[in-house]
Amino acid sequence: MILDGAREAFREDPSRLAVVDDSGSSTWTGFMAEIGQAAADIGASPTGAPVEIRLPSGREFLTRFLAAAQLRRPACTLHADWAGPELEAATAAARSFRPVVPPAEDDDPVFCIGFTSGTSGRPKPFARRSMSWISSFEPAGEMFSIEAGDTVYLPGSLQHSHFLFGAVLGLNRGASVRMFERFDRAALAEELNGVSRGILYLVPTMLFTLDELDVDPLPGLHSLVISGAKMEPHHWQIARRLFPGASVSEIYGASELSFVTVNSGGSDRSDPGFVGPPFPGVEIEIRSDGDGPGLVFVRSPYLFDGYFDESGRQSPIGPDGFMTVGDVGVLGEEGLSIVGRASNMLITGGKNVHPEEVESRLVEHGSVSECVVLGLPDPRWGEEIVAFVVSSGEGAGPDAADLRDHLKQRIASYKVPKRWFTVEAIPRTRAGKTDRSPDRLLELATEI
């Protein structure tokens, strides 16, 4: 069902190129044969048990993902950069999944199990049904101008839903999909140099990194799709310089919500938090105690099916169909503006990091008695993760290299702080809570 649009789009000429990665390419006919073989290798499951995928980005990943959907079994996309404890927790949680309705009897089966970052360090699994993606294919394809014969370039990991969705959407629009095992800015720029009509998916950090190459403009792209973090003014400037022929779409959403808004107007406005008007089919409500900013609640056909673990399912979707992921915003005539997050979650390089998780792992180190982890504004990463630690008084004191090694054995590498500071004590608010003000902490800190 997830590829019904692709079958129609490639029906007249199934010999057209469908998927390309660093190892080779496949026509639509060849790709469908690969999916069929993968489905035979995986096998059906009357219980609808998940199919685990922990592979590099490329044809094999996408083939296995779509083969699972063909078997009506959810694909569980495990992240290649997770540390051992994270992977073990995610795998155990995914294996606990059981569909409420037998897959053979479900008109809209769960086809994907993804994960969000949890404050405890345990990846938080969630389920997504087929129609939550399928129903967005037409409006997204029209908005991003994806047509049969185009090429969709996906330089990011398919474990990231932004790139995985881009691959499946591209095929359903009859475009060929170019996947990369890893982000190589020089290789990507060289390949885009000869493009006549292409769509490029990126996160803002990738834009910044491409700009450092100082390459000539690449006019062959007609559409640029950005997600994962807020586009700052310098990102828009880079996009216009590098891709002068491309329309730029900045997507605001979340793993649980999928599309919420799309900003195609750039940053030429006084409101830096503006993320655009609602995506077609999305309803937004701001719920607050007064007339000011409030929690952003969303209702749409694109919402996920809920969280789950060994104890069962939990859905944050209210009886009215609305849910929130804790972002705070204001809704005006032109669209939505995000003014903050209700949680302490950080976004670095397009990836979510809960500082509480990193802090809980840091204090396991013998040299640290207390710590605070936060994000500082950074043009490349969006937020650069930094740590402020208080010495336990044991040994020679905190050492940055030692603390990095300690964390890399316990959490994904992108969650590890890039800069380290010591403080005599963690500052507190009048209420006795941790004062996470960067200015206050930096006043007291010494970099190590």
pLDDT band at 354 (very low <50, low <70, confident <90, very high): confident
User: Are 4-341 and 346-447 equal in CATH topology?
Assistant: no
Residues present in the chain in total: 448
Task: Tell me the whole-structure pTM to 2 decimals.
Answer: 0.85
The mean pLDDT value of the chain amounts to 91
8 A C-beta contact, residue 215 and residue 242: yes
- For residue 104, with 0-12 CB atoms within 10 Å meaning exposed, 13-18 middle and 19 or more buried, which class applies? exposed
- Cα-Cα-Cα-Cα dihedral sign, residues 275, 277, 279, 281: positive
Share of the chain above pLDDT 70, in %: 97
CA distances from 276 to 133, 270, 325, 329, 395 (A): 21, 13, 18, 12, 53
CA–CA separation, 77 and 200 (whole Å): 22
Rounded to an integer, the average pLDDT of 369-380 is: 91
Contacts of 329 (CB under 8 A, 6+ apart): 273, 286, 293, 294, 296, 336, 337, 338, 339
| CA distance linking residue 14 with residue 5, whole number of Å | 13
Section 350-363 average pLDDT: 86
| Model confidence at 2: pLDDT above 90 | yes
Type and span of the H or E element at 233 = helix 233-242
pLDDT at 163: 96
Helix (H, G, I), strand (E, B) or coil at 439: helix
Summarised one tens digit per residue, pLDDT across range 237-273 is 999 999 999 999 999 999 999 999 999 987 667 777 8
Rounded Cα distance between 120 and 411, Å, is 11
CATH superfamily of 4-341: ANL, N-terminal domain (3.40.50.12780)
In terms of Cα–Cα distance, which of 160, 296, 177 is closest to 228?
160
Least confident of 22-31, 77-86, 319-328, 437-446: 77-86
Q: What's the mean pLDDT in 353-373?
A: 88
Q: Distance between terminal CA atoms of the chain?
A: 54
**Continuous segment of H or E residues that includes residue 211:** helix 204-211
Would you state the pLDDT for residue 120? 54
CA atoms within 13 A on the CB side of 86: 26
Chain centroid to CA 273: 19
Sign of CA dihedral 433, 434, 438, 439: positive
Tens digit of pLDDT for each residue in 48-95?
899 999 999 999 999 999 999 999 999 999 987 788 888 888 888 888
| Cβ–Cβ under 8 Å, residues 59 and 94 | no
C-alpha dihedral sign at 85, 161, 31, 131: positive
Radius of gyration (C-alpha) of the chain in whole angstroms: 22
Per-residue pLDDT, 430: 60
Q: What is the pLDDT of residues 96-155, one digit of tens each?
A: 888 888 777 889 999 999 988 655 556 789 999 999 999 999 999 999 999 999 999 999
Domain ranges for the chain, please list them: 4-341, 346-447
Helix (H, G, I), strand (E, B) or coil at 242: helix
pLDDT of residue 122: 67
State pLDDT tens for residues 214-230.
899 999 999 999 998 88
pLDDT at 45 over 70: yes
Q: What is the domain class of 346-447 according to CATH?
A: alpha beta
pLDDT tens-digit readout, 141-193: 999 999 999 999 999 999 999 999 999 999 999 999 999 999 999 999 999 99
For residue 263, the model assigns a pLDDT of 96
Tens-digit pLDDT profile for residues 264-305 = 987 667 777 899 999 999 999 999 877 778 999 999 999 999
The whole-number pLDDT of residue 357 equals 82
* Contact between residue 155 and residue 202 where contact means Cβ atoms under 8 Å apart: yes
Can you tell me the distance from the alpha carbon of 77 to that of 118, in angstroms, rounded to the nearest whole number? 16
What pLDDT is attached to residue 119?
Answer: 53
**Average pLDDT of the segment spanning 34-38:** 98
Check if the beta carbon of residue 311 is closer than 8 Å to that of residue 372.
Answer: no
Q: pLDDT at position 396, please?
A: 74
Tell me the average pLDDT across 369-397. Answer: 90
